[in-house]
Amino acid sequence: MENEFIELLLDDTKDRFVKVIDHVKHEFATVRTGRANSALVEDLQVDYYGTMVPLKQIANFSVPEPRLLVVSPFDKSSMASIEKAISTSDLGLNPSNDGIIIRLTFPALTEERRKSMVKIVRTKAEDGKVAVRGVRRHSRQELEALEKDQGLSKDEIERVEKVLDKMTQDQVAAVDALLQQKEKELLDV
């Protein structure tokens, strides 16, 4: 693999795989477990003076207890908008406002709800695996273009394809490991 174009291709592929895994982690963080997690509400869109902004831009978050999330708005006049955004979301949370902060109490999940969350997480994991395979497909297309442009040998192409397959298998295994961890988290009572 002396060819610098191949090295660039492999580095680009690694970067793309890292982005896919980070996206899967973020998607998993947005799935509600029995514990409080600010990732659930950070990206909720809030009407702030006529502009829709993510909640994380107008408030701080803290988790003083495992089932309690505290939202502290920077601007106290935005509390009603924040409460409305949380109430209308599909999280099933009822915000309580004391004029300074908003408290979100996370009720324990029922067995039925836990199982439905596991299905959602499995779907997100499968989407992650599809994205990993898409990165591999894209890299193979670039490799074919390099073969035509640079006149790479068939042996060199086969070696690089084996490296790409190994990288892909490692990333799929990483998604599976994240899935197992999230499933365990969801099913723990």
| 24-81 confidence digits (pLDDT tens) | 998 888 777 777 788 888 888 999 998 999 999 999 999 888 888 999 999 888 898 9
What is the reported pLDDT for 18? 95
What is the reported pLDDT for 1? 42
Cα(61)–Cα(86) distance, integer angstroms = 14
What does the domain layout of the chain look like in residue ranges? 4-30+110-187, 38-105
Read off the pTM.
0.73
Q: Look at residue 144 and tell me whether its pLDDT is greater than 80.
A: yes
Q: Provide the percentage of residues in the chain whose pLDDT is more than 70.
A: 97
Q: Calculate the average pLDDT of the chain.
A: 88
CATH for 38-105 is 3.30.1360.40
For residues 74-100, give the mean pLDDT.
87
What is the reported pLDDT for 189? 58
Q: Look at residue 117 and tell me whether its pLDDT is greater than 70.
A: yes
For residues 153-162, give the mean pLDDT.
87
CATH 1.20.120.80 fits 4-30+110-187, yes or no: no
**In residues, how long is the chain?**
189
Calculate Rg over the CA atoms of the chain: 22
What is the reported pLDDT for 2? 53
What is the reported pLDDT for 137? 95
